Amino acid sequence: MSVSDQGATVWLTGLPSAGKTTIAYALAERLRAEGHRVEVLDGDEIREFLSAGLGFSREDRHTNVQRIGFVAELLASNGVKALVPVIAPFADSREAVAKRHAAAGTPYLEVHVATPVEVCSERDVKGLYAKQAAGEISGLTGVDDPYEAPEAPDLRIESHHRTVHQSAAELYALLDQRGLV
Ligand SMILES: Nc1ncnc2c1ncn2[C@@H]1O[C@H](COP(=O)(O)OP(=O)(O)OP(=O)(O)O)[C@@H](O)[C@H]1O
Ligand SMILES: [Mg+2]
């Protein structure tokens, strides 16, 4: 098996607008250019299909993360780099996904895109922080819904101190260190 056939799941957890999707696609582009098979399991698309009907209660968020983790592991165990830019606010949900990977012997990396909420709410790509502030929505992760930051991620990216290119390069370096690229 060549290194380009080595699958792995890379989960990017962090607040809304932290930069998870942006960094994941930047990494995906580089990996694809090098001949790796890559899938990006993005939160929004997944919610439209695989997790249609689930809401944002603790239980539904947990179910959403387990479903995504299940698919990511299937892909990763078949030679795909599965990049998962999904908030995954609860430590126990992430732990369950990590354990599923460990049980199957599939590499799993947890990456915290650790952008402070002040910066995220400035970026506010989807206008959610503004809507929450205006009282139009509630249950926004990191504002009026919990976000349990990972205590010991494989990598913490301070996206507010990096360009997108630098963040993707840090992530690539981690994969390289672990013998995954
Ligand atoms: N240094 C940076 N690193 C990453 N993103 C940045 C940076 N500076 C500005 N941005 C911008 O911040 C936004 C981050 O949005 P993105 O959709 O990637 O966040 P997300 O974490 O996927 O959020 P969500 O959980 O809502 O999907 C993008 O518009 C991106 O261009
Ligand atoms: Mg996103």
Task: Grade residue 155 by pLDDT with cuts at 50, 70 and 90.
Answer: very high
Distance (Å) from CA 14 to ligand 2 centroid: 9
Mutate to test the pocket of ligand 1, among 23, 119, 125, 171 (most ligand atoms within 8 A of CB): 125
Q: What is the pTM of this model?
A: 0.97
In short, whether 16's Cβ falls inside 6 Å of ligand 1 is yes
The pLDDT value recorded for residue 38 is 98
Binding-site annotation: residue ranges for ATP: 14-21
Shortest-distance atom of ligand 1 to CA 42 = 27
Whole-angstrom distance, CA of residue 18 vs CA of residue 142: 11
Identify the pLDDT of residue 4.
Answer: 78
Which of 86, 111, 123 is the pocket-test mutation for ligand 1 (most atoms within 8 Å of CB)? Answer: 123
d(CA 131, CA 40): 27
Q: Is residue 149 within 8 Å of 112, Cβ to Cβ?
A: yes
Paired tokens of 154: 């494989």
Angle between helices 20-33 and 164-177 (to 10 degrees): 60
**Residue minimizing CA distance to atom 5 of ligand 1:** 19
pLDDT value of residue 43: 82
**H helices of the chain, where?**
20-33, 43-48, 58-76, 91-104, 117-123, 128-133, 164-177
3 has pLDDT over 90: no
Q: Which whole number is the average pLDDT over 136-155?
A: 98
Residue 71: CB atoms within 10 A of its CB come to 17
Query: What domains are defined for the chain?
Result: 3-177 (3.40.50.300)
| Residue pLDDT, tens place only, 30-68 | 999 999 999 999 988 898 999 999 999 999 999 999 999
Q: In the chain, pLDDT over 90 holds for what percent of residues?
A: 94
Over 90: is that where the pLDDT of 6 sits? yes
- Whether 87 lines ligand 1, by a CB cut-off of 6 Å, is yes
Q: Is the pLDDT of residue 1 over 90?
A: no
Neighbour count for residue 173 (Cβ, 10 Å): 12
Give the pLDDT score at 45: 85
Atom of ligand 1 nearest to the CA of 128: 26
- Does position 2 have pLDDT exceeding 80, yes or no? no
Mean pLDDT over each residue of the chain, to the nearest integer = 97
For residue 149, the model assigns a pLDDT of 98
What is the whole-number distance in angstroms between the Cα of residue 85 and the centre of ligand 1? 11
Confidence band, pLDDT 50/70/90 cuts, at residue 83: very high
The dihedral through the CA atoms of 179, 79, 98, 54 has a sign that is positive
Q: Is the CB of 162 under 6 A from ligand 1?
A: yes
pLDDT for position 44: 83
Range 119-124 average pLDDT: 98
